[in-house]
Amino acid sequence: MSVATAPAKPSSASSAAPPQGDLGVIAKLLPYLWEYRGRVLLALGFLVAAKLTNIGVPVVMKGIVDGLSGPHAVLAVPVALLVAYGVLRLSSTLFNELRDVVFVKVSHRAMRRVALEVFHHLHALSLRFHLERQTGGLTREIERGTRGISTLLSFMVFSVLPTLLEMALVTGFLIVRFDVWFGVITVAAIILYVALTFAISEWRTQHRRTMNDMDSKANTRAVDSLLNYETVKYFGNEKWEADRYDDTLKRYERAAVTSETSLGLLNAAQAAVIALAVSLLMWRAADGIVVGKLTLGDLVMVNALLIQLYIPLNFLGVMYREMKQAFIDMEKMFKLLSENREVQDKPNAPAVKITGAAIAFENVDFSYDGRRQILQGVSFEVPAGHTVAVVGASGSGKSTLARLLFRFYDVQQGRITIDGQDLRDVTQASVRAAMGIVPQDTVLFNDTIYYNIAYGRPGSTREEIVAAAEVAHIREFIERQPDGWETTVGERGLKLSGGEKQRVSIARTMLKNPPILIFDEATSALDSKTEKSIQGELRQIARDRSALVIAHRLSTVVDADAILVMHDGRIIERGSFRDLMAQDGRFAEMWRLQQEEDRHRIVEASVL
């Protein structure tokens, strides 16, 4: 039999290209804003109105000063202008607040939609991605990415666009109202200011990237260490873990200190440019007053316009830095959306149709990474309503059968069918809905026992959940707890023993009530008495269903309709218990070894 070479491990490339640079990030974000384009346009309208009224304030101030200082000053003129001044001041603030009120829903909805899409996409990625991911760093990337959306939109709408608009309005007004030199000085100062700000901020950004990387690594190490709290204690490695954590914190500290101290250089450069520009413009205005071309009101107006213009420019470095950081954070998050799903439904794939729930593996080859073959030419059937057991040494490929049956991966050669339907031709959701599994390593949600059992079929009645707990022989244990069904199980179920977790898992699967059952060492964590009791229940439950039993203890599969013996990814023996014992091959040898081990344990227990 020829074995096809497994393809290399999929890369992170995707059908949806990852964002390229800042413009790519903006392009990714725009569709999420398009839903509220009406609100965006209205917010921009309020923005323009706020800036126009803001520019009008110094103009009215000029009229007030000239009215009070002129030779024919009349009381009525300054009073009218003072009223206009107050109205404009109020209008500017009012329009800004209206802009904020209108736009706030846009930014928060965009955050929600992006975060939800990333969450959905992460659940759609293959098991390969999740086995290789680092949870702490991943959650930080999502958190910073969604926060980056809020930061970017807030600065764009509330700071950058208003500043750009105000710069254009002030420059144009100065040129029209006075002379071209006012505009030249203003524009030259702005260009120099922006160039210095961007150059220094860009240099500081590399340190910010280092800070982010170290922040993610520190969080990953902390989460990983705390999740493995017991292992750390077993080996007395608290100091080792603290030193690893501190190593990352030191690198974060160095990058943070460099980033923060360089802020002084940026502030000094910005202050020098602003001082020079204001001085030159005030000199031009004062010279105009001396020669009689300008009034005292013009000097006041120019000063007020420049103050209004340069105050937001003072925050340009902060805005640029925060926006640049937002782009970096969003780019990392959007890259998650470009991760290859690897296992995808075909377009318009139908749901699997269950008639008898017969399973078939047909000449299946599989490798996780292309370097080591896990399954080689595996073929077997689980007829409808039958129980087939798979046994073999660790690493022989037993648990891989369950992963392929749930289509966590696709096979490289051959096919797997349910009632004759190739798993690749039907939807993943319908395949998984038709199967229930009791895994060897049961992981529970950090919630109540009731929640974890109800997770098997959300929306089940309390009576159904209690009945499932009865089948799994865990109801009595639950009701003995001080909090009963509301007892929390802790992170990954660590508050429960291995046997208790396994019984919760059995109850959860029984509640799901699927036509296909998979037991992957389903009773390995139970004591002998409970195991025998539950084994009887499981046989009763599996009687009218198709069941695949992956087992290490051979005594638990003697009643199976067929037993498959695996070795190095191949099925080397198959048949009923009697047939395999009669063959006196690998299965018979394993049986004798386990019987001998059991006898030794009984003898040791009686001596103790």
- Give the residue, 166 or 317, on which the prediction is more confident: 166
pLDDT digits (tens, 9 = 90+) for 539-584: 777 777 899 998 887 888 888 899 999 998 899 999 999 999 999 8
Decide: 70 and 11 in contact? Cβ < 8 Å.
Answer: no
What's the whole-number average pLDDT of the chain?
A: 79
- Give the residue, 164 or 71, on which the prediction is more confident: 164
Average pLDDT for residues 103-116, to the nearest whole number? 79
Average pLDDT for residues 373-383, to the nearest whole number? 91
Tell me the pLDDT band of 3, cut-offs 50, 70 and 90: very low
Specify the pLDDT at position 9.
Answer: 39
Decide: 149 and 114 in contact? Cβ < 8 Å.
Answer: yes
Specify the pLDDT at position 72.
Answer: 52
- Give the residue, 607 or 392, on which the prediction is more confident: 392
Domain count of the fold of the chain: 3
In this structure, the answer to whether residues 177 and 101 fall within a common structural domain is: yes
Q: Is residue 552 part of a domain?
A: yes
How does DSSP classify residue 330?
Answer: H
Specify the pLDDT at position 6.
Answer: 38
Pairing of strands 516-520, 546-550: parallel
By CB atoms closer than 10 A (0-12, 13-18, 19+), residue 90 is exposed
In this structure, the answer to whether residues 223 and 320 fall within a common structural domain is: yes
Tell me the pLDDT band of 531, cut-offs 50, 70 and 90: low
Enumerate residues 6+ apart whose C-beta is below 8 A from 143.
none
In this structure, the answer to whether residues 287 and 376 fall within a common structural domain is: no
Q: Is residue 8 part of a domain?
A: no
In this structure, the answer to whether residues 408 and 544 fall within a common structural domain is: yes
Decide: 387 and 398 in contact? Cβ < 8 Å.
Answer: no
Tell me the pLDDT band of 244, cut-offs 50, 70 and 90: confident
Residue after which a domain boundary falls, among 285, 311, 337: 337
Check whether 75 has a pLDDT greater than 80. Answer: no
In degrees and rounded to multiples of 5, residue 352 shows phi and psi of -70, 140
In this structure, the answer to whether residues 132 and 179 fall within a common structural domain is: yes
Q: Is residue 127 part of a domain?
A: yes
Sheet holding 413-418, edge to edge: 373-382, 359-367, 413-418, 421-422
Least confident span in 177-186, 346-355, 429-438, 532-541: 532-541
Pairing of strands 421-422, 413-418: antiparallel
Which residue, 123, 133, 12, 128, is CA-closest to 369?
128
Which of 76-85, 124-133, 269-278, 467-476 shows the highest mean pLDDT? Answer: 467-476
By CB atoms closer than 10 A (0-12, 13-18, 19+), residue 323 is buried
Structural tokens at position 331: 């780019």
In this structure, the answer to whether residues 180 and 288 fall within a common structural domain is: yes
In this structure, the answer to whether residues 180 and 275 fall within a common structural domain is: yes
Tell me the pLDDT band of 525, cut-offs 50, 70 and 90: low
Q: Is residue 321 part of a domain?
A: yes
The string of DSSP letters for 68-124 reads HHSTT--THHHHHHHHHHHHHHHHHHHHHHHHHHHHHHHHHHHHHHHHHHHHHHHHH
Specify the pLDDT at position 5.
Answer: 36
Residue after which a domain boundary falls, among 496, 513, 530: 513
Tell me the pLDDT band of 493, cut-offs 50, 70 and 90: confident
How does DSSP classify residue 157?
Answer: I
Residue after which a domain boundary falls, among 274, 305, 337: 337
pLDDT digits (tens, 9 = 90+) for 393-435: 887 888 889 889 988 888 889 999 999 999 999 998 899 889 8
At 377, is the secondary structure helix, strand, or coil? strand
Check whether 11 has a pLDDT greater than 70. Answer: no
Decide: 537 and 470 in contact? Cβ < 8 Å.
Answer: no
Decide: 505 and 439 in contact? Cβ < 8 Å.
Answer: yes
Q: Is residue 35 part of a domain?
A: yes
By CB atoms closer than 10 A (0-12, 13-18, 19+), residue 576 is middle
Distance CA 418, CA 352 (A): 8
Structural tokens at position 334: 């959007």
Tell me the pLDDT band of 382, cut-offs 50, 70 and 90: very high
In this structure, the answer to whether residues 302 and 429 fall within a common structural domain is: no
Segment (H or E) for 547: strand 546-550
Check whether 73 has a pLDDT greater than 70. Answer: no
Decide: 256 and 209 in contact? Cβ < 8 Å.
Answer: no
Specify the pLDDT at position 12.
Answer: 36
Enumerate residues 6+ apart whose C-beta is below 8 A from 473.
503, 530, 533, 534, 537
Residue at token pair 């003898």? 603
Average pLDDT for residues 509-514, to the nearest whole number? 88
% of the chain at pLDDT higher than 90: 13
Specify the pLDDT at position 426.
Answer: 93
In degrees and rounded to multiples of 5, residue 179 shows phi and psi of -145, 175
Check whether 31 has a pLDDT greater than 50. Answer: yes
In this structure, the answer to whether residues 509 and 526 fall within a common structural domain is: no
Average pLDDT for residues 33-56, to the nearest whole number? 82
Which CATH number do you get for residue 486? 3.40.50.300
Decide: 417 and 359 in contact? Cβ < 8 Å.
Answer: yes
Q: What is the dihedral of CA 371, 374, 376, 379, to 10 degrees?
A: -150
Decide: 71 and 118 in contact? Cβ < 8 Å.
Answer: no
Structural tokens at position 76: 């009525």
Least confident span in 11-20, 59-68, 321-330, 474-483: 11-20
Check whether 74 has a pLDDT greater than 60. Answer: no
Which residue, 502, 554, 500, is CA-closest to 523?
502
In this structure, the answer to whether residues 45 and 191 fall within a common structural domain is: yes
Q: Is residue 428 part of a domain?
A: yes
Specify the pLDDT at position 4.
Answer: 37
The string of DSSP letters for 570-594 reads EEEEEE-HHHHHHHTSHHHHHHHHH
Check whether 380 has a pLDDT greater than 90. Answer: yes
How does DSSP classify residue 156?
Answer: I
Decide: 83 and 51 in contact? Cβ < 8 Å.
Answer: no
Please give the C-alpha separations between residue 522 and each of 210, 223, 453, 469, 531, in angstroms, as whole numbers.
46, 29, 16, 15, 9
* Residues present in the chain in total: 608
In this structure, the answer to whether residues 78 and 29 fall within a common structural domain is: yes
Distance CA 56, CA 50 (A): 10
In this structure, the answer to whether residues 466 and 608 fall within a common structural domain is: no
CB pairs under 8 A, 24+ apart, for 253-259? Answer: 255/207, 255/208, 255/210, 255/211, 255/214, 256/207, 256/211, 258/207, 259/204, 259/207, 259/208, 259/211
Average pLDDT for residues 372-399, to the nearest whole number? 88
Check whether 90 has a pLDDT greater than 60. Answer: yes
Q: Is residue 566 part of a domain?
A: yes
Q: Is residue 553 part of a domain?
A: yes
Specify the pLDDT at position 49.
Answer: 87
Q: What is the dihedral of CA 564, 568, 572, 577, to 10 degrees?
A: -30
What residue numbers bound the domain in which 532 lies? 352-434+515-608
Specify the pLDDT at position 71.
Answer: 57
- Give the residue, 298 or 535, on which the prediction is more confident: 298
Average pLDDT for residues 208-213, to the nearest whole number? 75
Which residues does residue 391 pair with via DSSP β-bridges, in sequence order? 565
Specify the pLDDT at position 127.
Answer: 65
